[in-house]
Structure 1
Amino acid sequence: MLSIVSVYHQSGVREKKVAADGSKFEIYENNLHSEYHIRYGGYGGIAYHHVSDKYIALFTHFITCGVWEAVYILDGLLKNVSDIQPNTVCGDTQGQSAPVFALSYLLGIKLMPRIRNWKDLSFLRPTEDAQYQYIEPLFKGTVNWHLIKTHWFDMMRVVLSIKAGKVMPSTLLRKLSSYSKKNRLYQAFCELGKVVRTMFLLEYISNMKMRREINAVTNIVEKYHHFLDWIFFGKEGAITDNDPIEQEKRLKYLDLVASSLILQNTVDISLAIQTLTARGEIINHRDIEALSPYPTRHLKRYGDFIVNLNNIPQPLETAINLPPEIFET
């Protein structure tokens, strides 16, 4: 898997963002991961994917249906050891919460979710006397800077433990959320998170380009889900193992197959572009941005697969590269 990502990394120019989102997989009712999903119906688990803005999956974690997905959104970035190392993670409403905003900020990760009903969230003023002429109704409180300052070193110790690999963000966030809401460290994380979220939302509502970028990246992970649905046709797309380790393996193998197909599609598209440019056709980077490595109409899922070992393909290093003039126009 890492080798495929390494080769795929040579193509394209985007690599700084990753989208995180969950997709329900059907599993048997009587096992440790199985829960009833209210929105999708039926028993199953959630495959929580981290997909690069270069379309390839970097990490997948199998979680229960009832968990708030934001708890695991930072794990995928920290466990990712591939050549693609994004510093920004996009998600949906389930991909954010006040403590997650705080923790991502302290870890140097930019959290950019697409939040439903953002107007219902609390915007905080920096001081009580701060007034804003046109957006005053959005603000519903003032930052408790004393709380953040008091527990700043405690929060930094938590971050250093995560950086040192002593604890994963999901473990910490689960423990924080299970504590009483009167826990001062939990309150400090929430307060800092509200500050970071307020700054993000103010930029989000005023920057159309930013909204479009977030929407484009989150659409990629949704398209990846549809791509996996097409690939995983055996046993009607159900994971039939009850062992959590085997369930996780199924998803890893599925990602491996998907990554292999994505790489082959990318090679085929790159070779077609090389042929067109050699003929004198003008192709610019906007044309490339409209392409996706998720087409399936040309792929054969059933029947005989004939491999000609005497037909040596072009080296991937040259096959996957696009003419440099494309990115200059």
Structure 2
Amino acid sequence: MDLLGLDFEPRIPRLSDRRLYSFEPPKRYGRLAPLFGNRLNRDLIVNHWPDIHRVIRAMRDRTITPSLILKKLSAYRQQNSLAAALREVGRIERTLFTLRWFKDPALRQLVTGELNKGEARNSLARAVAFHRLGRFRDRGIENQQMRAAALNLVTAAIILFNCRYLDRAVSELGSRGVKIDPALLSQLSPLGWDRINLTGDYVWSDGIELDADGLMPLRIPDSYRESMSR
């Protein structure tokens, strides 16, 4: 991915299944030797380096898609030498990232946090798409796309709703003299739906009191009001 100018930082679930690769014999790395697989083929990479650059340039310029490249390379009955060279380059990338994963706790924390965000968003989408057990049974692609777009719209509306009220709650606490650690704000997530009625009866009423920003008043617990008044 470095050749494309991109950073790919996936979570490594089972390090015991991960293999490292190098140009040198594994025994040179002492206690890490059991983690190493086969040696990298330097000559294969060097001989195909111009071809690798052409492939990377084509993907960067978007003149060809990665899926089409994989399709072409997999069409050969025997393994193509260019595909083998790309595999060797990929092993180098994986090895460098795995070593970073070993060394950098901040990287592990960042990747895990981003993964949790994605899982939380998927959980919200599954909660919203409760009709027909969340399955799109439409055969037509147009209807499937319409349902997917509707799901994204409702999910985005819930996230926007949560963002606006989280901002209002933080502003309200600030106006009451409550000091909030900025590091805690980065831990807030707008992906919750426990206060949103996803199933049951929907009551649309014009009698809801809204402020100038179109928001409902915050529900501040009485115990919190009493503690603030002291």
Could you state the TM-score of these two structures normalised by the residue count of structure 2?
Answer: 0.80
Which residue of the other structure, out of 80, 104, 118, is the alignment partner of 1:221? 118
Root-mean-square deviation over aligned CA pairs: 2.7
- Give the superposition deviation at 1:307: 5.5
Q: For residue 259 of structure 1, what is the aligned residue in structure 2?
A: 156
Q: For residue 291 of structure 1, what is the aligned residue in structure 2?
A: 188
Q: Is the 8 A contact 2:136 2:144 kept in 1?
A: yes
Which residue of the other structure, out of 109, 112, 117, is the alignment partner of 2:9? 112
Q: What is the DSSP-based 3-state SS (H/G/I as helix, E as strand, rest coil) of the residue aligned with 1:212?
A: helix
Higher helix share: 2
Q: For residue 209 of structure 1, what is the aligned residue in structure 2?
A: 106
Q: Is the 8 A contact 1:122 1:141 kept in 2?
A: no
AA aligned to 1:240 is R
Which gives a bigger RCO, structure 1 or 2 (Cα 8 Å, sep 6+)?
Answer: 1
Give 1 or 2 for the bigger CA radius of gyration.
Answer: 2
Counterpart-to-counterpart distance in 2, 1:307 and 1:234: 28
Trace 1:104-253 onto structure 2 (pairs within 5 A): 104-128=1-25, 131-180=28-77, 182-253=79-150
- Give the superposition deviation at 1:181: 5.1
Q: Is the 8 A contact 2:41 2:88 kept in 1?
A: yes
Which ranges of structure 1 fall in alignment gaps of 5 or more residues?
Answer: 1-103, 316-329
Counterpart-to-counterpart distance in 1, 2:76 and 2:140: 30
Aligned residues: 213
Which residue of the other structure, out of 165, 169, 173, is the alignment partner of 1:268? 165
Could you state the TM-score of these two structures normalised by the residue count of structure 1?
Answer: 0.58
- Give the superposition deviation at 1:205: 2.0
Change (3 A) 1:184 1:245: farther
Identity %: 27
Trace 1:24-103 onto structure 2 (pairs within 5 A): none
Change (3 A) 1:160 1:120: same
Could you tell which deviates more after superposition, 207-216 or 172-181?
172-181
Higher strand share: 1
- Give the superposition deviation at 1:309: 11
Counterpart-to-counterpart distance in 1, 2:58 and 2:212: 47
Counterpart-to-counterpart distance in 1, 2:49 and 2:145: 37
Which ranges of structure 2 fall in alignment gaps of 5 or more residues?
Answer: 215-230
- Give the superposition deviation at 1:226: 0.9
